[in-house]
Structure 1
């Protein structure tokens, strides 16, 4: 067995004053293996910015820009995380969920026609860029 030693003692991590953590069960229970890189990046971002209840209010445009994702790809990553029971989402609110609870039923969205039209427009734009 390899002997562990601190490589850089002047940079040992400490629990920061702000609230943030990543649950080791993401690896042990193989959640991370069921995520693609985009879903994992979105999850890492949400875990990092969430408050003690797992809540954050980042808009899709901000998330897409910060994570260098097309809006359609962000939506796919978000849906993957919802499907895995890692997050809940009701625009504009995200909640990082506890790993030991039941998987929530998908939220019913009462989207307006304008909201649906905007989502379709973003999807078409993303698909158009991919084929251009």
Structure 2
């Protein structure tokens, strides 16, 4: 196993007080693989500017200027992120969404005890 030592120990990251972070499951659950580069850029921007509930609001014009896109492209990549399930949008608000765990199968497949109890707690059978 490789022992890791910070290259710049005086610059180790911390969660900033304005609350901004990226979920590792973007990579481990392959969400990032389903994004175009421009959609990933929009997602990064929204994560950076959102509050603790994931909420932010920027106009298409401002996003286009900040990200080097035109407005129709912003609309297209926003739709891509909505379809993937990473954001929700209702003009003028964006919400960066929590990445949900794998959905529980309801078609008779095997389920873990944890999944069964979770469904019971949520009032689903």
TM over 0.5: yes
In the alignment, what sits opposite 1:67? 67
Q: Does structure 1 residue 89 correspond to structure 2 residue 62?
A: no
Structure-2 change in CA distance of 1:101 and 1:6 (3 Å): closer
After TM superposition, the runs of 4+ consecutive aligned structure 1 residues lying more than 4 A away are none
* SS at structure 2 position matched to 1:42: helix
Residue 83 of structure 1 deviates from its aligned partner by 0.4
Residue correspondences, number: 103
Gaps of 5+ in 2: 104-125
- Work out the CA distance in 2 between the residues paired with 1:72 and 1:2: 46
Gaps of 5+ in 1: 104-132
> 1:53-132 residue pairs with structure 2 within 5 A?
53-100=53-100
- Work out the CA distance in 1 between the residues paired with 2:68 and 2:16: 26
In the alignment, what sits opposite 1:25? 25
Residue 2 of structure 1 deviates from its aligned partner by 3.0
Q: Say which one has the larger Rg.
A: 2
Question: Scaled by the length of structure 2, what TM-score is found?
Answer: 0.77
